[in-house]
């Protein structure tokens, strides 16, 4: 699952259009849903972005790790309008604390620090971009996914020569031409997220095993851990389930599964080796 | 090749940093205040970073040389280790570094001269007694040598200190720099091996066994003292046949008279490190093996460990003299 966090609807619109996302009925934040995409419009500012990011995390399934992208506009002293920048470092105005969204994917965007301001400013700097949300996004999103999967992608909307134009169409038009590069990057980020193992066993499978006997809480935790390894995909569940359904107690089931796990782990088969 | 280099601002003018950056012309440089900013944050994933780790160039302040852990010795009484680098190019599933650090970025401490001074001072405290230094504890000593040139710097330094001994522990085949130097009898180049099945299953990006044997042969021909490290031994269904095969392949080509030492150790890992690795790789066979906790370490049950140890010991001693053998029991 991939979550796009934008401050303004006009920043989100090219993404909503590209993925053909449908508006969800929600009162807290404007939210648009697709098969593998969620786009949330937070409103301007660090607090709004933090709140919306935390709110969006509740839309995720627990067992998968999501990738997050904060897409929006930013200012810089010299960079051309329309240039794309991936944040190499995110700081909060006047704060020493920095967040480094780890860039693992090869890309063609500029890589520069972003400083999040609490108020708009035209005191542009050459060593970093100004925005108003990135820090709130990075700090909150990294509670739910590792920093490698929380990226801030900014398009330059204003600089020393060109003051900020707040026209919605103008902002959407800055983003739209780069949609192929942005979505290509997003797909790579999503593939990266899929490299992580499930956080928990498949809930349906776990429930089937739990229904066979009474498991203590510690047995449930152990069972869940074992099933992550023993049932890598739903197709491998049936034979394993058949092998334990004759057992009467949770102790017997746990003992049998442990044995299965150990036997499996000690056979470094040709398939593993290839 | 490295895409991203994090560089501490205070050392951006350091000649060694510039040399390293020249060797990485495509890398993008991100300046940082202190390496801890990128190395220590909690919200990182070691497994993901291992797919494309960045390089961190930093300066180390203090603790250049530390006492070696118990059992980390090859015959000497005074044992120390030093880490000019944190993390390794390779990705071995049994490695404790995965559970020790939050980041998989490779951190190089560029103030080599401070390491050399600390080594010299440590040797001075032991009079004429031999003092052993192990350089491959928190990293692979040689794998990143084309970039770091650390060994290239340190070999002459060790030559100057008459009681200093060095173990360069590696799984790499980066021996070009070593071959440019005259062999030093107080330096042992120790190669780590596991059997073929374990190597293929769990040692990602590590050169093949045969390529490592090739490297050993070249070093032996040049007169270098060599070490063999079978640590950790990993148990599996065909472990015994695998170990025998490994020994046959090594000793068919590497002359035993060039072997300074052979160390053997069965898998063991501090409890907390193991739990972290289990969280990172819950589906991996190695972390699901039948381990138990003994004395705060995850390891095989005592009976399995004893059987593995005695089997390997007997097999080894058909090839080498007992004086070359250093079991690592904990």
Whole-prediction pTM: 0.92
Q: Please tell me the predicted confidence (pLDDT) of residue B141.
A: 87
Which residue out of A232, A266, A269 would a mutagenesis test of the B interface target, given it has the greatest number of B Cβ atoms within 10 Å? A266
Residues 6+ apart with CB under 8 A from B39: B56, B86, B101, B102, B103, B105, B107
Each residue of A135-167: pLDDT tens digit?
Answer: 999 999 999 999 999 999 999 999 999 888 889
Q: Give the C-alpha separation, A229 to A257, whole Å.
A: 11
pLDDT at A273 over 60: no
pLDDT of residue A201: 63
pLDDT of the residue at A269: 63
pLDDT band at A200 (very low <50, low <70, confident <90, very high): low
- Residue the block writes with tokens 């009681």: B163
Residues of A within an 8 Å Cβ radius of B = 88-89, 98-100, 102-106, 111, 142-143, 146-150, 192, 195-197, 225-226, 228-229, 232, 258, 261-262, 264-268, 272-273
The predicted pLDDT at position B1 comes to: 72
How many residue pairs bridge chain A and chain B with CB atoms within 8 Å of each other? 104
Best probe of the A interface among B3, B28, B38, B282, by most A CBs < 10 A, is: B282
Query: Which neighbouring-strand residues pair with B85?
Result: B108
Among the partner-chain residues B43, B52, B236, the one whose CB lies closest to the CB of A268 is B236
Q: CA of B278: which chain A residue's CA is closest?
A: A225
Interval A81-99: pLDDT, tens = 999 999 999 999 978 889 9
Closest CA to B281 of A5, A98, A197, A155: A197
Structure tokens given for B277? 């690795």
For B294, counting Cβ atoms within 10 Å of its Cβ (0-12 exposed, 13-18 middle, 19+ buried), the class is middle
Q: How far is B46 from chain A (nearest CA, A)?
A: 9
pLDDT given for residue B142 in this prediction: 93
Beta carbons within 10 angstroms of residue B113's beta carbon:
11
Token pair for residue B278?
Answer: 């289990």
Instruction: Report the residue from B37, B201, B282 with minimal CB separation from A272.
Output: B201
Cβ atoms B220, B184 nearer than 8 A: no
Q: Which of A95, A98, A104 to mutate to test the interface with B (most CBs of B within 10 A)?
A: A104
pLDDT of residue A235: 80
Output the CA torsion sign for A228, A229, A235, A240: negative
Using the beta-carbon criterion (under 8 Å), do B282 and A88 form an inter-chain contact?
A: no
Chain B partners of A104 at a C-beta cutoff of 8 Å? 48-49, 51-52
Does A274 have pLDDT greater than 60? Answer: no
What is this model's ipTM?
0.90
Q: Which letter, b or e, does each residue of B302-320 get, where b requires 16 or more Cβ atoms within 10 Å of its Cβ? A: eebbebbbeebeebbeebb
Residue numbers of chain B with a pLDDT score lower than 70: 330
Residue A213's alpha-carbon distances to A48, A137, A203, A210, A261, in angstroms, are 47, 44, 17, 6, 20
pLDDT value of position B161: 95
């Amino acid at each position: 699952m991939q979550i796009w966090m934008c401050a303004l609807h006009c920043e989100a619109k090219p993404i909503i259009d590209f993925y053909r996302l449908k508006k969800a009925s929600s009162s807290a934040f404007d939210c648009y849903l697709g098969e593998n995409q969620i786009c949330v419009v937070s409103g301007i500012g660090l607090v709004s972005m933090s709140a919306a990011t935390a709110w969006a995390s509740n839309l995720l399934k627990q067992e998968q790790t999501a990738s997050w992208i904060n897409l929006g506009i930013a200012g810089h002293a010299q960079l051309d309008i329309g240039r794309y920048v991936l944040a190499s470092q995110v700081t909060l105005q006047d704060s020493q604390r920095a967040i480094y969204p780890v860039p693992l994917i090869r890309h063609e965007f500029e890589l520069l620090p972003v400083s999040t301001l609490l108020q708009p400013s035209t005191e542009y700097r050459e060593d970093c971009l100004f925005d108003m949300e990135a820090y709130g996004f990075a700090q909150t999103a990294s509670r739910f996914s590792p920093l490698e999967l929380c990226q801030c992608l900014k398009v330059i909307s204003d600089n020393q020569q060109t003051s900020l134009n707040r026209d919605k169409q103008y902002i959407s038009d800055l983003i739209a031409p780069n949609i192929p590069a942005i979505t290509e990057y997003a797909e790579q980020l999503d593939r990266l997220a899929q490299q992580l193992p499930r956080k928990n066993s498949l809930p349906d499978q776990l429930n089937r095993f739990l229904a066979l006997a009474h498991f203590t809480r510690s047995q449930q935790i152990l069972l869940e851990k074992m099933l992550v390894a023993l049932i890598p995909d739903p197709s491998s569940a049936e034979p394993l389930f058949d092998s334990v359904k004759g057992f009467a107690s949770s102790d017997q089931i746990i003992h049998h599964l442990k044995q299965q796990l150990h036997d499996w782990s000690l056979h470094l088969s040709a398939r593993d080796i290839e | 090749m490295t895409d991203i280099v994090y560089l501490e601002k205070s050392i951006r003018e350091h000649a060694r940093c510039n040399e390293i950056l020249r060797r990485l012309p495509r890398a993008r440089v991100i300046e940082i205040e202190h390496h801890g900013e990128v190395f220590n944050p909690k919200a990182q994933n070691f497994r993901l970073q291992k797919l494309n780790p960045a390089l961190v160039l930093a300066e180390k302040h203090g603790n250049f040389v530390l006492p070696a852990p118990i059992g980390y010795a090859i015959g000497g009484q005074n044992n120390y280790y030093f880490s000019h680098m944190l993390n390794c190019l390779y990705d071995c599933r049994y490695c404790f570094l995965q559970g020790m650090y939050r980041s998989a970025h490779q951190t190089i401490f560029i103030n080599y001269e401070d390491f050399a001074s600390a080594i010299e001072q440590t040797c001075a405290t032991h009079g004429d007694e031999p003092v052993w230094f192990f350089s491959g504890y928190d990293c692979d000593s040689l794998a990143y040598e084309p970039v770091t040139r650390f060994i290239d710097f340190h070999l002459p330094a060790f030559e100057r200190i008459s009681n200093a001994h060095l173990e360069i522990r590696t799984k790499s085949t980066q021996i070009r720099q070593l071959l440019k130097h005259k062999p030093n009898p107080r330096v042992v180049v120790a190669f780590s091996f596991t059997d073929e099945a374990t190597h293929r299953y769990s040692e990602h990006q590590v050169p093949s066994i045969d390529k490592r044997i090739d490297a050993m042969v070249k070093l032996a021909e040049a007169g270098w003292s060599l070490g063999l490290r079978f640590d950790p031994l990993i148990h599996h269904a065909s472990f015994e046949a695998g170990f025998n095969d490994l020994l046959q392949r090594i000793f068919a080509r590497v002359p035993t008279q060039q072997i300074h030492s052979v160390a053997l150790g069965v898998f063991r890992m501090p409890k907390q490190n193991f739990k972290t690795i289990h969280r990172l790789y819950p589906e991996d066979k190695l972390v699901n093996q039948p381990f138990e906790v003994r004395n705060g370490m995850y390891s095989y049950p005592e009976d399995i460990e004893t059987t593995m140890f005695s089997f390997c010991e007997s097999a080894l001693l058909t090839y080498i003299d007992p004086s070359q053998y250093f079991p690592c029991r904990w």
